[in-house]
């Protein structure tokens, strides 16, 4: 046995012994039925069948996903507790006052599970446009007419809206926060709000029903097969808007590197399974199948720089 393999086994075996007979908790900091919960359950089920150890979902919702994250931050790094969360995890200190943990320093990054694009949509009449180019021109002429609804302060939909209006040159467009995607998108459908940068899965049925108009896809290099007539934001002439939804797994800080590497490899392999890819596609997401703790940590650093810049421009303050 090579020295590196022996060292890895020496780290993993004590953890396995301590965890023997105990389920592994995968904490979901959101309510059952949402995207984080569904994706977490998909992977937990496959981990249980592959590893021969029971992975159990625990929903700890509330506080902009911070209550569940705090539970994991307090946990021992013994391989029995992990967090599955979305991009909002990195914004914790930006949106919650006196957060009891550091979203980076108090966690061990494992791997991303999936990514999902966003769709710029608007009310057919209130948007006053039929294409992204027309919308950009109209927003520059009368920015105060346009309000973006978001699923909450610090959400990727919020950051994308803030980035988009500045890239267009309509800094004075308004942003209104709601408690979740459903009420935010419903107000656009009702015509109370003109625009939203929404998850593709949430917006697509409303676009197909003619209740919303789709202008551009954000966070995708190519057009969606489900909506081939909708251009990417770059195709629409607005480059540099690279916000997208993503979902990932973390462990508590201090988790041995060998444990993190092993779990990351298992998650990548699960993401390559045809059934997992199919289920994610149905949700408007794509499996992420080539991540490591190191590459995920580098991505987190890049996201914090990009999102922090937008948060500063938008004046996002913790509440």
pLDDT per position as a tens digit, 218-263: 999 999 888 999 999 999 999 889 999 999 999 999 999 999 999 9
Q: Is the pTM of this model over 0.85?
A: yes
3-state helix, strand, coil split of the chain in percent (to 5) is 45, 20, 35
The DSSP annotation for 23-52 comes to PEEEEESS-TTSHHHHHHHHHHHHHHHHHS
Percent of the chain with pLDDT over 70: 93
Residue 286 pairs in a beta bridge with: 115
DSSP 3-state assignment of 114?
A: strand
Identical fold at 3-115+246-314 and 118-218? yes
Class in CATH terms, 3-115+246-314? alpha beta
Residue of 143, 173, 140, 169 lying closest to 158 (CA atoms): 173
Q: How confident is the model at residue 11 (pLDDT cuts 50, 70, 90)?
A: very low
pLDDT per position as a tens digit, 28-46: 999 998 899 999 999 999 9
Give the domain ranges of the chain.
Answer: 3-115+246-314, 118-218
Task: Please state which CATH number belongs to domain 118-218.
Answer: 3.40.190.10
pLDDT per position as a tens digit, 152-211: 899 999 999 999 999 999 999 999 999 889 999 999 999 999 999 999 989 999 999 999
How far apart are the C-alpha atoms of 316 and 92, rounded to whole Å?
11
Q: Are strands 195-199 and 174-177 parallel, antiparallel or unpaired?
A: unpaired
pLDDT higher than 60, residue 5: no
pLDDT per position as a tens digit, 43-64: 999 999 987 789 999 999 988 8
Q: Of how many residues is the chain composed?
A: 319
């Amino acid at each position: 046995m090579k020295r590196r393999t022996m060292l890895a086994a020496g780290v993993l075996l004590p953890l396995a012994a301590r965890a023997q007979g105990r389920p592994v908790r995968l904490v979901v900091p959101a309510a059952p039925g949402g995207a984080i919960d569904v994706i977490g359950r998909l992977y937990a089920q496959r981990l249980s069948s592959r590893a021969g150890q029971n992975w159990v979902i625990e929903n700890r919702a509330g506080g902009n996903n911070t209550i569940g994250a705090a539970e994991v931050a307090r946990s021992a790094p013994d391989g029995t507790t992990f967090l599955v969360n979305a991009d909002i995890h990195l914004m914790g200190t930006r949106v919650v006052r006196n957060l009891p943990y550091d979203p980076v320093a108090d966690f061990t990054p494992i791997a991303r599970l999936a990514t999902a694009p966003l769709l710029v949509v608007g009310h057919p009449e209130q948007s006053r446009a039929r294409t992204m180019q027309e919308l950009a021109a109209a927003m520059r002429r009368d920015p105060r007419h346009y309000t973006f609804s978001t699923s909450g302060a610090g959400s990727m939909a919020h950051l994308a809206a803030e980035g988009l209006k500045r890239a267009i040159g309509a800094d004075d467009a308004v942003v209104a926060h709601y408690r979740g995607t459903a009420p935010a998108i419903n107000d656009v459908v009702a015509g109370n709000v003109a625009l939203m940068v929404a998850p593709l899965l949430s917006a697509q049925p409303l676009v197909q029903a003619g209740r919303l108009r789709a202008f551009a896809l954000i966070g995708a290099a190519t057009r969606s097969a489900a909506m081939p007539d909708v251009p990417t934001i770059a195709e629409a002439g607005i480059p540099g808007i690279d916000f997208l939804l993503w979902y990932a797994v973390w462990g508590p800080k201090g988790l041995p590197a060998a444990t993190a590497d092993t779990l990351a490899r298992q998650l990548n392999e699960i993401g390559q399974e045809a059934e997992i890819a199919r289920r994610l596609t149905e949700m408007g997401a794509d499996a992420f199948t080539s991540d490591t703790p190191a590459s995920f940590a580098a991505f987190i650093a890049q996201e914090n720089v990009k999102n922090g810049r937008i948060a500063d421009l938008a004046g996002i303050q913790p509440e």
